Amino acid sequence: MKYEQLTIGPLDVNCYILWDEDSNEAMIIDAGAEPERILSAVKRLGLTVQMIVSTHGHVDHVGANAPVMDALGCKFMLHQDDVFMLNDSFGAQIASLIGALPSPPPDKTMKDGDVLSLGKTTMEVIHTPGHSPGSVCLLCEGTLFTGDTLFAGAVGRTDLPGGFHSQLIESIDKRLLTLPDETIVLPGHAYGGLRSSIGNERANNPFLT
């Protein structure tokens, strides 16, 4: 597995392009904005994108889905509990403020324990509600893409519709901090840094200690 990270849009979302080295099959995690940059990176890397996977349904993480899907003919996947966010009034207001485009509905919904495949590379879907009802983290070969659930030195906000702080902390405690210390953490925003580890967050994250 290899990946490339792009920080995109006015809210500095970390978009990840992940691919299997043998097949060059790829997925895009959180195509939130700047579709031209995403498409340029895909072309430069010579990849065949199979799917866009959104860690949750907030508009800053899905705002480039439509043009990227149109250009690449790929599918879109989202946890079933966040599908409602794609057309809610709150999301539409934020979209108008940041210039995001409405996302099409997912071609397939995800649930906890699903396994996504790119060639010989597989990725596990871990449902981590709290930031949003359908937030997920994605675990692949010792690397955890955490979306807005867990950041380097911080956790996701829970003051948006559908957010619950106690649920977020429980998700992190029971689903993420049980992973090996050396698990790499790649968050959805770089508030405290572009990467961390489960061991570092367990020991030093002020929201968890």
What is the residue-wise DSSP string for 10-23? TTTEEEEEEE-TTT
Q: Is the pLDDT of residue 91 over 70?
A: no
Look-up of token digits 């570092």? 200
Six-digit token string for 6: 């792009």
- For 128-140, give the DSSP string: -TTSSTT-EEEEE
* Inside any domain, residue 110: yes
* Inside any domain, residue 85: yes
* Inside any domain, residue 195: yes
Assess contact for 163 and 170: CB atoms under 8 A: no
Domain enclosing residue 12, as ranges: 2-204
Give the tens place of pLDDT for each residue, 26-36.
Answer: 999 999 999 99
* Inside any domain, residue 111: yes
Q: Region 5-23: what's the mean pLDDT? A: 95
* Inside any domain, residue 35: yes
- Helix (H) / strand (E) containing 170: helix 165-171
Instruction: Give how many domains the chain has, as a whole number.
Output: 1
Q: Region 82-102: what's the mean pLDDT? A: 77
Give the tens place of pLDDT for each residue, 117-126.
Answer: 999 999 999 9
Predicted TM-score of the model (pTM)? 0.95
* Inside any domain, residue 198: yes
* Inside any domain, residue 209: no
Q: What is the CATH number of the domain that holds 71?
A: 3.60.15.10
